[in-house]
Amino acid sequence: MGACCSVSLPCDQVVGQVSQWLCAKASYIHNLEENLTALEKTMDDLKAKRDDLSRKVEREENRGLQRLAQIQVWLTRVETIDSQVNELLSVRNTEIQRLCLCGFCSKSFKKSYRYGKRVFMMLTEVKNENLRSDGVFEVVAEQAQASEVVKRPIQPSIVGQEKLLETAWNRLMEDRVGIVGLYGMGGVGKTTLLKQIHNKFDTFDIVIWVVVSSNLQIQTIQEEIAKKLGLAGDGWNQKDEDQKSCDIYNVLTRKKFVLLLDDIWAKVDLTKIGVPSPSENGSKVVFTTRNQEVCARMGADVEMEVQCLPPDDAFDLFRKKVGEITLKSHPSIPELARVVAAKCHGLPLALNVIGEAMSYKRTIQEWHDAIDDLKSNAAEFPEVKNEILPILKYSYDNLKDEHVKSCLLYCALFPEDNRILKRLLIEYWICEGIIDGSRGMERAENKGYGIIGTLVRSSLLMEDTNKVYMHDVVREMALWIASDQFIVFAGAGLYGIPKFMNWNAVRRMSLMSNEIDRISGSLECLELTTLFLQRNQRTLVNISGEFFRSMPKLAVLDLSENSQLSELPDGISQLVSLKYLNMSWTNIECLPVGLRELKNLIHLNLEQTKTLSSIVGILALLSLKVLKLRGSRVRNNPNTMEELLGLEHLEILTIGIASDSGLDQFLSSHKLMCCTQVLQISHLQLDISRLASMEKVHELQFIGCTIYEIKMDITSIRSETISPLHNPTNACFLSLSKISLSFCNGKELTWLIFAPNLTSLKVYFADEVEEIINKEKALVGEESGIVPFQKLEFLILDSLPKLKNIYWRPLPFPCLREIEVINCRKLRKLPLNSKSGSSGEKELVIKYTEREWLVGVEWEDEATKARFLPSAIQV
Question: Is the distance from CB of 650 to CB of 675 less than 8 angstroms?
Answer: yes
Residues 6+ away with beta carbon under 8 Å from 816: 789, 792, 793, 794, 795, 836, 837, 840, 844
Query: Containing H/E element for 477?
Result: helix 472-481
Cα distance between residue 225 and residue 216, in whole Å: 15
Query: Where would I find the beta strands (DSSP E) of 537-696?
Result: 542-543, 556-558, 580-582, 603-605, 626-628, 652-657, 676-682, 685-686
Q: How many CB atoms lie within 10 A of CB 290?
A: 25
Backbone angles phi, psi at 80, to 5 degrees: -65, -45
Question: Is the distance from CB of 168 to CB of 107 less than 8 angstroms?
Answer: no
What confidence score (pLDDT) does residue 773 get? 93
- 469 three-class SS: strand
Question: Is the distance from CB of 688 to CB of 732 less than 8 angstroms?
Answer: no
- 567 three-class SS: coil
Residues 6+ away with beta carbon under 8 Å from 252: 229, 274, 275, 276, 283
Angle ∠(438,510,420) on CA atoms, nearest 5: 65
Angle ∠(616,619,624) on CA atoms, nearest 5: 120
Q: What is the pLDDT of residues 512-566, one digit of tens each?
A: 999 999 998 888 999 999 999 999 977 899 999 899 999 999 999 999 999 999 9
* Coarse DSSP helix, strand, coil percentages of the chain, rounded to the nearest 5 percent: 40, 15, 45
- Measured in whole angstroms, the distance separating CA 603 from the mean position of its chain's CA atoms is 31
Residues 6+ away with beta carbon under 8 Å from 278: 178, 179, 257, 259, 284, 285
Q: How many CB atoms lie within 10 A of CB 12?
A: 8
Per the rule left: phi > 0, alpha: psi between -120 and 50, beta: everything else, 378 is alpha
Q: What is the pLDDT of residues 306-350, one digit of tens each?
A: 999 999 999 999 999 999 999 999 999 999 999 999 999 999 999
Question: Is the distance from CB of 816 to CB of 868 less than 8 angstroms?
Answer: no
Burial class of 602 by CB neighbour count within 10 A (0 to 12, 13 to 18, 19+) = buried
What confidence score (pLDDT) does residue 66 get? 66
Of 628, 583, 617, 620, residue with least CA distance to 598: 620
Question: Is the distance from CB of 399 to CB of 405 less than 8 angstroms?
Answer: yes
Question: Is the distance from CB of 160 to CB of 313 less than 8 angstroms?
Answer: yes
Q: How many CB atoms lie within 10 A of CB 834?
A: 17
Cα distance between residue 353 and residue 334, in whole Å: 18
- 425 three-class SS: helix
What confidence score (pLDDT) does residue 85 get? 85
What confidence score (pLDDT) does residue 407 get? 97
- 606 three-class SS: coil
What confidence score (pLDDT) does residue 18 get? 43
Query: Containing H/E element for 420?
Result: strand 420-421
Which residues, in sequence order, are bridge partners of residue 796? 762, 820
Q: At what angle do helices 32-62 and 109-127 cross, to 10 degrees?
A: 40
- 532 three-class SS: strand
pLDDT lower than 70: segments of the chain: 1-26, 61-66, 97, 99-109, 132, 134-135, 140-149, 156-157, 709-731, 780-785, 838-841
Query: Where would I find the beta strands (DSSP E) of 26-92?
Result: 65-67
* Mode of pairing for the β-strands spanning 420-421 and 467-469: antiparallel
What confidence score (pLDDT) does residue 100 get? 66
Question: Is the distance from CB of 832 to CB of 865 less than 8 angstroms?
Answer: no
Residues 6+ away with beta carbon under 8 Å from 726: 785, 786, 787, 790
DSSP state of 745: B
Cα distance between residue 333 and residue 338, in whole Å: 9
Backbone angles phi, psi at 291, to 5 degrees: -115, 115
Long-range CB pairs of 506-515, under 8 A, 24+ apart, other chains included: 508/410, 508/413, 508/482, 510/413, 510/414, 510/486, 511/536, 512/413, 512/414, 512/415, 512/536, 512/558, 513/415, 514/489, 514/490, 514/539, 515/539
Exposure string (b/e) for 792-829, b if CB count within 10 Å is 16 or more?
bbbbbbbebeebebbbeebbbbbbbbbbbbbbbeebeb
Cα distance between residue 374 and residue 840, in whole Å: 39
Edge-to-edge strands, sheet with 179-183 = 206-213, 257-264, 284-289, 179-183, 302-305
Query: Containing H/E element for 780?
Result: helix 775-783
On the CB side of 50, CA atoms within 13 Å amount to 19
What confidence score (pLDDT) does residue 405 get? 96
Question: Is the distance from CB of 824 to CB of 800 less than 8 angstroms?
Answer: yes
Exposure string (b/e) for 721-742, b if CB count within 10 Å is 16 or more?
eeeeeebbeebbbbebbbbbbb
Cα distance between residue 810 and residue 792, in whole Å: 14
Which residues, in sequence order, are bridge partners of residue 603? 580, 626
Long-range CB pairs of 9-17, under 8 A, 24+ apart, other chains included: none
Cα distance between residue 690 and residue 705, in whole Å: 15
Query: Where would I find the beta strands (DSSP E) of 194-321?
Result: 206-213, 257-264, 284-289, 302-305
- 125 three-class SS: helix
Backbone angles phi, psi at 4, to 5 degrees: -115, 145
Question: Is the distance from CB of 267 to CB of 216 less than 8 angstroms?
Answer: no
Residues 6+ away with beta carbon under 8 Å from 399: 405, 408, 454, 455, 458, 460
- 772 three-class SS: coil
**Cα dihedral sign, 209-213-216-219:** negative
Query: Where would I find the beta strands (DSSP E) of 6-106?
Result: 65-67, 99-100, 105-106
Q: At what angle do helices 241-252 and 218-229 cross, to 10 degrees?
A: 40
Burial class of 310 by CB neighbour count within 10 A (0 to 12, 13 to 18, 19+) = exposed
